[in-house]
Structure 1
């Protein structure tokens, strides 16, 4: 026999109860046993555990009674699958949007166009972190290093008045996860389950723009990313690049030469011995093997 409904408990007591329940289930205790120990129904324990596996720590915290603000805007599982597959298989222009690179705004418009659901910038950010597309430190404007405009460079190597971006890449394993539901087909082609990487650029003000790629070390793919970045910003750019292409690097070299006066690209790596970035020209690196067009 169970005592009064857990929903009648105070928020603080209910949070403590949820935490005890999740800790017990995660340690291997059956849901039936946990329900009996805590005096709530097994169904309640199942709901709490499912929410914890889906939303993490957020599911355990206090929340107001009744429908939360923005709760009606949450994406269903199938809607999330469709969105993440679209973002990780093509650019926003291929999905019918007016952008060249993905941003929080572009992703919000994608969802609104498809599902007629309005997402705030904070909600989009939380989804990107939950999906594993980009790390929380990136989307929280904590890039883990110095601001791009603080890197060591002589005045002759940068464009005065240009916007500065530091570019990075991150590997995502999400596509090896759940299979798509019938409503989950991507808006783009090529949705096979494989490991991908994200190329992303962070401005000195914390603006994040990103695009999926299969090979961030390929000079042609990196050049395509830079072209999209220039088109999206519509102005002169100083790009601080944290690695050199190891394949087809000649494509990037040619593009940089063709766009002198509009774009500068500086290659730097973080020194393991100091806080100052070190120009790659001063680092001994093997010469990458050049390959012909694929």
Structure 2
């Protein structure tokens, strides 16, 4: 009887530990890569050709939950080009593409190595995945003339309410993104995934990092959209 109680206690402890690892992994993935107050990244706010802090916060609020086509812009998701146009219209500010790119980098967007998308516990698994499985994804994309995107989520610091930036970075380094107000365990937005395929309904291979377990992925997607999980220590627990 005593052995049974001990075994039960150990089982509970292991389960709780697994949940803690999962939670830590996901916090690492989404927690704190981005920041408002881009002056920390070399942008001097208020100077000619830059946004003030108030303008930056206003811009983030304007972007929440809306897409470029709602402003009459010919883009499915926000890019450096469409954001440059919106800044020009809203603030009468002609900002060069390099400066807009610096804001996106300050927000935590831009190309990252696969290992940078993993917590410390997942790095080895991600490196093996890149070596053994990623080449097959790129070959399939080439055969279907498809684009490969790396999808992740960043929590912006310095906004009220908080803001999440969901981004897709193509294998060519092009960034597409949307900004949302975070909720408890938000799923990977179906609208975001569909918009990556574009009005032309292009085939797309999407590599999803540990920001979302598979049970938070959209279901019944068109066959032209293929989702691939990046290894994460949180995934086995979420699937159990």
Please indicate the TM-score interval, normalised by the length of the shorter structure.
Answer: 0.5 to 0.7
1:142 aligns with 2:112: yes
State the Cα distance separating 1:158 from its structure 2 match: 3.7
Q: Deviations over 1:1-41 (max 9, x none)?
A: xxxxxxxxxxxxxxxxxxxxxxxxxxxxxxxxxxxxxxxxx
Structure with the greater alpha carbon radius of gyration: 1
Looking at structure 2, the residues matched to 156 and 206 of structure 1 have their Cα atoms a distance apart, in angstroms, of 15
CA contact (8 A) 1:99 1:232 kept: no
* Bigger relative contact order (CA 8 A; separation at least 6): 2
Note the 1:114-193 alignment, pairs <5 A: 114-130=90-106, 133-134=107-108, 138-139=109-110, 141-145=111-115, 152=133, 154=136, 158-159=140-141, 160=143, 161-175=145-159, 193=160
| Selected match of 1:93 from 62, 66, 69 | 69
CA contact (8 A) 2:210 2:232 kept: no
1:263 aligns with 2:239: no
1:204 aligns with 2:171: yes
CA contact (8 A) 1:101 1:232 kept: no
Looking at structure 2, the residues matched to 244 and 79 of structure 1 have their Cα atoms a distance apart, in angstroms, of 29
Cα 1:83–1:123 change in 2 (3 A) is same
1:240 aligns with 2:224: no
Task: Give the number of equivalent residue pairs.
Answer: 187
Give the SS at the match of 2:202.
Answer: coil
Looking at structure 1, the residues matched to 138 and 53 of structure 2 have their Cα atoms a distance apart, in angstroms, of 51
Cα 1:89–1:162 change in 2 (3 A) is closer
**Alignment-derived partner of residue 178 in structure 1:** none
Give the SS at the match of 1:93.
Answer: helix
| Selected match of 2:162 from 177, 195, 207 | 195
| Selected match of 1:284 from 219, 236, 239 | 236
- Alignment RMSD, CA only? 3.8
**Alignment-derived partner of residue 23 in structure 2:** none
**Alignment-derived partner of residue 197 in structure 2:** 230
**Alignment-derived partner of residue 28 in structure 2:** none
Give the SS at the match of 2:227.
Answer: strand
CA contact (8 A) 2:206 2:227 kept: yes
CA contact (8 A) 1:216 1:222 kept: no
State the Cα distance separating 1:110 from its structure 2 match: 0.2
Looking at structure 1, the residues matched to 147 and 41 of structure 2 have their Cα atoms a distance apart, in angstroms, of 37
CA contact (8 A) 1:239 1:264 kept: yes
**Alignment-derived partner of residue 89 in structure 2:** 113
CA contact (8 A) 1:240 1:268 kept: yes
State the Cα distance separating 1:268 from its structure 2 match: 2.3
Give ranges in structure 2 of 5+ residues lacking alignment: 1-36, 116-125
Structure-2-length-normalised TM-score: 0.61
Looking at structure 2, the residues matched to 115 and 162 of structure 1 have their Cα atoms a distance apart, in angstroms, of 36
Looking at structure 1, the residues matched to 232 and 215 of structure 2 have their Cα atoms a distance apart, in angstroms, of 24
Structure-1-length-normalised TM-score: 0.52
CA contact (8 A) 1:103 1:209 kept: yes
State the Cα distance separating 1:126 from its structure 2 match: 2.0
Cα 1:245–1:120 change in 2 (3 A) is same
Cα 1:150–1:237 change in 2 (3 A) is farther
Q: Deviations over 1:204-224 (max 9, x none)?
A: 1111111123259544x5222
Give the SS at the match of 2:191.
Answer: helix
